[in-house]
Amino acid sequence: MVLILSIVLALFLPSPANVIVIVLGAIGEIGEIVWGRRLARRWRPKTGPEAMIGQNAVVVEACRPHGRVRVRSELWEARCEAGADADETVRIESLEGLTLTVVRTAPPRPA
């Protein structure tokens, strides 16, 4: 983008100044590319199991200790050692194969 602006500006400048503007625009373009690549490396998107750990899920089938939970409209097999009833919110602690290990986020409801 910087290079395009410098080329357009060079069309309106006299002979020695237009070359200087184009060279400065090329240097600015290189700096913009380097900055963009560093920024892209720093903000890697999280995917896979590490993206799910720490998220909340809603229990669909009671986990005593095995059941099912819904995470982002997907159904997953889950295991909750403390147990959780349907419609409770749980937090994902780990992923073992295709089974989520979850823990309660709120204390159990009184019976």
Distances (CA, A) of 27 to 14, 15, 34, 41, 71: 20, 19, 11, 22, 47
Q: What is the pLDDT of residues 63-104, one digit of tens each?
A: 999 999 999 889 999 999 989 999 999 999 999 999 999 999
Q: What is the pLDDT of residues 9-63, one digit of tens each?
A: 999 999 899 999 999 999 999 999 999 999 988 887 777 777 889 999 999 999 9
* Mean pLDDT score of the chain: 89
DSSP code at position 82? T
What pLDDT sits at residue 51?
A: 84
Residues of the chain with CATH 2.40.50.140: 49-104
DSSP class per residue in 34-65: HHHHHHHHHTPPP-SHHHHTT-EEEEEE-BSS
DSSP code at position 110? P
- For the domain bounded by 49-104, which CATH number is listed? 2.40.50.140
Q: Does this model's pTM top 0.85? A: no
Residue 70 near residue 57 (C-beta atoms within 8 A): yes
